[in-house]
Each structure stands twice: as C-alpha cells, then as structure tokens.
C-alpha cells in the first residue's frame, strides 16, 4: 500500500484550483508562510502518518486501554507517535505566533491533519483534543491561564480534554449538574460525575487539563447557568509545575466498538477531597466559550469520517484492481481469463460512491477551513463576519452529512472486497467500526439537524442562509459556462430554490403549529441541505477540473483525472438530486406519521 491515504493529486487540486488557497498568504497574519512551505508540511505529515501512525492501527484495536493498579495503561505506540507528532512541530501548527505557534492557515493545517486521521484516528484524537483545548484557552483564557496551561499544551507536555457530558446529560447539556463552589482564593471546588470523556486518564505527558462545564452554586437552570473551568489532573504549584493530585478520580472506562486506542472515561470530581478549578471567561458564559472547542471538534469529527472514507477507498480500489473474478456479461468463452473486479459495473458504482465521499469530503473540509482562515484574518470586517456566518451555518451540515456519507463509503469498501471485507485480514471492518462513532458524538446527527433547522437558517436575521444561497448561485453561474456542467448548474439552481422554499415553509409551520411540529421536520431539512451542499461542493470541483488547465498541452493522465472529476460530479447529482427532492417533498407534505405515533402504538 502506498502512504497516500489522502490522494495527493486531489489534495493539490482542491487547494490550488478549487480554493485558491495560496491567496491566504497575502493576508498579513499568514505572510510568514508560502505555498512551498505548506506543501512541505503536508508531505511531512503524510510520511509521518504512514511511518509512525499507521503501523499500530490494528494493534490499538486489539489492545484497548486497561486499568492496572488504578491507573490507565495505554499501548506505548500511542505515546511514541504523539512524540513524533510533537517533535515535528505539528501541535502548534495553527496556534498563533504570539502563543508560540506556527500560525499556518487552517486550510493547509487541516490538509496535513487529515493524513494523521486517515492513518490512525485513535492517536490523532489525543492531538486534536489538545490542539482545540489550546485554541479555546487562546481565545477565552486569561493571560496567566495561557502561560500556565496553554503553553505546556502547545509544547506537548500537558494534554487537553473536553469534559461536558454527564451520565444523564449528553444531548441536553443544559441539564448538567456538576457544581462549582467559590473558594476564598477565587478558585472553585468542583463536584460531580463526567461521562464519556475522551483522553482523560493516562500517564503520557506531565498533566491532563480538563476543560470542564459546571454550574456555580446558585446559578440559574439551563445553559445560562453553565460556566467553564480549567480542572487539571494535578494542581500546579506557584512555578507552574504539576504537584499534588487534584482528586479527579477515574470511575471506569467505556469499552467501545471502535476508536479503541482513545481511552474513554467516567470521571468523578470532588470525591474524597476537593477538586480545584479555575473559571475561564465570565460566570454563565461557559457554553458560549466551550463552543469554540465544540465547533472545532464537530469539524474535526467529520474530518475523521472523511479520513476513514479516504483510507477505505484507497484500500478497496487497490483490491478491485488486483483481484480477478468473473467476466463481463457479454463474454461468451468460459475459458477466457477472469477480469479484475474493477471491470464490473456494480463494483465501479461502489468505488464511485467512495470517491465522491472521500474527495467531496476533503473539498468540503478544506472549504470550511478556508472560511475559518478568512474569519480569523481577512482585513475587512464585513468579509470576516460573512465567513463566520457561513462557517456556522455549514458546520452542522458538514458534521451530519459527511459522517453518514462516509460511513456508507466504508460499507461499500467492505462490499467491494466481498468475504474478505468482512474479515480482520483487512482493516476495512475496523475503519467501519471506528467511523460508526462519528454520527453519534460531538452532538448526534439528530441534534445537528435541530441546530440547522432551529438556529442556523434564521441566524443573523437569515443572513447566513442568504450567503449560502448566494454561493450556490455563484457556483451555478460559473458551471453554466462549460458544456459538460451546464445541466448540473440548472439542477443546482433548482435545489437552491427548494432550500429557500422549504425554510420559508418551515418557519410558517413553526408560526402556525408551534416548534414541536416544525422541529419534527429537522432531519428532512438536513437531508435537503446536505444533499444540496454536497452537490454544490462537487459542482465547484467539476468546474475547476474543466476550467483550470490547458487541455491541449496537458498529459493524458491529467486529462483523464479531470474527466473523472466531472463524471463523479454527475454521479453525485444523479444520487443526491432525488434525495434532496424527496426531502423537499416530505417537508412540503403532511406531518410525518412518527409524530402521530403514541408510545403504546410501538407495541
Ligand atoms: C466514544 C465517545 C466519545 C465521546 N467523547 C466525549 C468527550 O470527549 N467529551 C464529552 O463531553 N462528551 C463526549 N462524548 C459524549 C457524546 O457527545 C454524547 O454521547 C452525545 O452528545 C450524545 O449524548 P448521549 O450519549 O447522552 O445520548 P442521548 O442524549 O441520550 O441521545 C440518545 C438519542 O436521542 C436523541 N435525542 C436526544 N435528545 C433529543 C432531542 N432533544 N430531540 C431529538 N432527539 C434527541 C439523540 O439524537 C440520540 O439519537 C463521547 C461519546 C462517545 C460515545
């Protein structure tokens, strides 16, 4: 197998011809970097991912973390790989230079990070949590907190976690009950139980820094009463060195279907002694601050899904080219040689769905990363605000749509291998199991749909939706210039109209029948917007494939790859337009029968 779990041709094509990401280096915040340097970083990531992350992919599945003498023991390969990641400077890749980071545009940093996720997501998770925890502290932490906690995270000495969920409060974070009591020195004593916390107990590094949501005693019910705290595993002494244990007790491990190398814990705080935390930001602002990390994690989770789809695609493609089985339907001679699997129409269908998910996912992921870069660094206030709105609008769509489309891709990858795909001789069943988490965590896809329908479409007086529809219109206009993409451009216009009409219908329904009736349609709206967005992302790629090169001088191989992009876009439209239309029809129709089902009707 080659190390290219993320196809380098396609990655460069997206960065250079679809996103024109080199223009980011014209912004003062990124002027220290250039395209050649960014390419070298991505190449280093790809090599490191293959050499250091990939070899233990199966091993971590077979050897999940265990508790020995009250401590979590991880396979040493995790620490070795994270050490190499740190040594190569990847932890501070996107952190700001004033925080000691490299300040690379996220567009390129995420292109690099995808390599690690594709090679070994269980290890990449520790890095992702750490990097986004550091980012949260950079944005919301006090200067002293940055020095004491964020800087060691970026050095790789401390590890960050996000500690939100509780046994009775997963989707409904407003119901958390962990409490925080103000101490005389201005710190807080926390007490409660946290559930599902990833990367929260191990002996790597010098300390673990939990970013924990809790309720200050007397705070109002619901999300307005939630505050955010830094809760280190070991308290720091006055010189910032980890000293005494902070009573963050491991109550147990969760034994998971996949992503087993990422330890997942139940934690008790304030049991058998005080657990001391420092507040981040203002009281009651906890969830708002935490959204810095949650939004990044939502994108990171769906990038993980894309990485699994990419890895599965490369593996099943290689297999389909190698294994011979059967003959074409019109082959008359039973003694003629069997053909490679890739010759069969049904196998090509399954490969094409995977190519669409993997490459569409990479393009979608990096489009969002580019929005994050513009949001952070564009010179015009209006441009920054618009990028922020579009990013907010698209985040739940990327999370929900890509985690499902990429899981379907892993199913197809297994199916391409036939019986072999169902065995542990190939890593596809593991990719599938690992990937199955992504529709669940970081807000289930049901919750993402509620976010889209309940908040995002009406955000900023509907401006986010307007910006989105304008992007679709721009893409259709551009695609209409090429003969091959003109019919797709017309279809995209139709989908945009369906989105617009459906959102209006939904808001009328909310006004006439109340939010419960309207929100029962949220999954249909997600299906419509997801299919529309994915079609848009592919039409952008098809237009770029046709427009960005000189066909007369290009090599045969180059022409072939580009033609393949256009055919893939056509396949995406063939599959997605009917899905979008069906969702729009459901949104326009009667209330879903499930709404009328009473508990006892379920039998
Ligand atoms: C492996 C793993 C790692 C995780 N890592 C972390 C971590 O590091 N930190 C952390 O804080 N959390 C973490 N989580 C928690 C994760 O975010 C939650 O599992 C998730 O948010 C769902 O919560 P829940 O499991 O309590 O399910 P529930 O909230 O009980 O949901 C069950 C089902 O009901 C649906 N549902 C719930 N409420 C509604 C509603 N209002 N409307 C419609 N449908 C609804 C959901 O969509 C879902 O299908 C992790 C979870 C897992 C499995």
202-213, pLDDT tens digit by residue?
999 999 999 999
From atom 26 of ligand 1, which residue's Cα is the shortest distance away?
170
| Of 196, 262, 300, best ligand 1 pocket probe by most atoms within 8 Å of the beta carbon | 196
From atom 16 of ligand 1, which residue's Cα is the shortest distance away?
441
Atom nearest to 168 CA in ligand 1: 26
User: Cα of 292 to ligand 1 centre, how many Å?
Assistant: 18
Q: What is the pLDDT of residue 1?
A: 42
Distance CA 236, CA 234 (A): 6
DSSP string, 550-588: -TTTS-HHHHHHHHHHHHHHHHHHHHHHHHHHHHHHHHH
- Residues shown for the chain: 603
User: Cα of 238 to ligand 1 centre, how many Å?
Assistant: 38
Phi, psi of 586 (to 5 degrees): -65, -40
Atom nearest to 254 CA in ligand 1: 1
Q: In whole angstroms, what separates CA 593 from the centre of its chain? A: 32
Check: CB of residue 398 under 8 Å from CB of residue 389: no
Residue 221: CB atoms within 10 Å:
9
Q: What is the pLDDT of residue 548?
A: 77
Q: Of the residues 50, 135, 442, 540, which is catalytic?
A: 442
**Quick check: is 166 catalytic?**
no
User: Cα of 579 to ligand 1 centre, how many Å?
Assistant: 26
User: Cα of 76 to ligand 1 centre, how many Å?
Assistant: 30
From atom 30 of ligand 1, which residue's Cα is the shortest distance away?
170
Q: What is the pLDDT of residue 549?
A: 82
Q: What is the pLDDT of residue 105?
A: 98
Tokens of 237: 């002494």
Atom nearest to 199 CA in ligand 1: 8
User: Cα of 409 to ligand 1 centre, how many Å?
Assistant: 23
Regions of the chain where pLDDT drops below 70: 1-3
Q: In whole angstroms, what separates CA 427 from the centre of its chain? A: 21
> Ligand 1 pocket: which residues have CB below 6 Å?
162-165, 170-172, 196-198, 256, 264, 437, 440-444, 446-447, 450
Atom nearest to 442 CA in ligand 1: 17
Q: What is the pLDDT of residue 224?
A: 97
Q: What is the pLDDT of residue 514?
A: 96
């Amino acid at each position: 197998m080659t190390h290219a779990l993320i196809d380098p041709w396609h990655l460069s094509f997206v960065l250079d011809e679809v996103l024109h990401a080199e223009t980011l280096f014209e912004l003062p915040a990124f002027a220290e970097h250039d395209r050649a340097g960014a390419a070298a970083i991505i190449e280093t990531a790809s090599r490191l991912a293959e050499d250091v992350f990939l070899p233990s992919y199966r091993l971590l599945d077979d050897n999940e973390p265990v508790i020995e003498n009250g401590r979590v023991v991880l396979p040493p390969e995790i620490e070795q790989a994270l050490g190499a990641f740190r040594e190569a400077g990847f932890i501070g890749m996107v952190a700001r230079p004033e925080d000691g980071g490299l300040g690379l545009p996220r567009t390129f940093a995420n292109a690099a990070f995808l390599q690690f996720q594709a090679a070994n997501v269980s290890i990449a998770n520790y890095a992702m949590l750490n990097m986004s925890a550091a980012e949260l502290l950079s944005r919301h932490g006090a200067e002293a907190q940055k020095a004491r906690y964020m800087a060691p995270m970026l050095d790789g000495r401390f590890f960050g976690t996000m500690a939100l969920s509780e046994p009775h409060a997963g989707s409904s974070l407003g119901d958390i009950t962990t409490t925080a009591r103000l101490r005389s020195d201005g710190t807080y004593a926390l007490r409660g139980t946290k559930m599902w916390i990833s990367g929260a107990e191990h002996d790597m590094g010098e300390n673990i820094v939990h970013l924990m949501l809790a309720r200050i005693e007397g705070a109002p019910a619901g999300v307005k009463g939630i505050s955010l705290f830094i809760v280190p595993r070991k308290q720091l002494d006055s010189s910032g060195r980890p000293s005494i244990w902070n009573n963050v007790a491991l109550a147990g491990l969760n034994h998971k279907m996949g992503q087993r190398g990422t330890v997942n814990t139940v934690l008790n705080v304030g049991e058998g002694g005080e657990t001391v935390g420092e507040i981040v930001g203002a009281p009651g602002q906890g969830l708002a601050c935490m959204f810095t990390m949650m939004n990044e994690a939502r994108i990171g989770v769906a990038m993980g899904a894309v990485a699994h789809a990419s890895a599965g695609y490369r593996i099943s493609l290689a297999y389909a080219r190698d294994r011979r089985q059967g003959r074409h339907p019109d082959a008359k001679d039973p003694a003629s040689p069997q053909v490679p699997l890739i010759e069969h129409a049904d196998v090509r269908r399954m490969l094409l769905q995977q190519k669409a998910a993997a490459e569409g996912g990479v393009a979608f992921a990096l489009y969002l990363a580019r929005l994050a870069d513009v949001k952070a660094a564009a010179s015009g206030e209006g441009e920054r605000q618009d990028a922020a709105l579009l990013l907010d609008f698209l985040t739940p769509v990327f999370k929900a749509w890509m985690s499902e489309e990429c899981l379907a891709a892993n199913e197809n990858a297994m199916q391409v291998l036939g019986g072999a795909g169902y065995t542990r001789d190939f890593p596809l069943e593991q990719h599938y199991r690992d990937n199955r988490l992504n529709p669940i965590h970081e807000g289930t896809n049901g919750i993402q749909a509620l976010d889209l329908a309940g908040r995002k479409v009406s955000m900023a007086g509907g401006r986010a939706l307007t910006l989105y529809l304008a992007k679709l219109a721009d893409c259709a206009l551009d695609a209409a210039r090429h003969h091959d993409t003109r019919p797709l451009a017309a279809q995209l216009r139709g989908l945009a109209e369906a989105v617009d009409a459906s959102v209006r219908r939904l808001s009328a329904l909310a006004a006439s029948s109340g939010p419960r009736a309207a929100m029962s349609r949220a999954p249909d709206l997600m299906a419509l917007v997801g299919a529309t967005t994915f079609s848009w992302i592919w039409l952008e790629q098809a237009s770029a494939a046709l427009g960005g090169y000189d066909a007369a001088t290009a090599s045969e191989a180059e022409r072939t790859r580009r033609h393949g992009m256009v055919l893939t876009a056509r396949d995406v439209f063939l599959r997605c337009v009917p899905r979008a239309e069906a969702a729009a029809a459901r949104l326009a129709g009667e209330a879903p029968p499930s709404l009328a089902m009473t508990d006892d009707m379920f039998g």
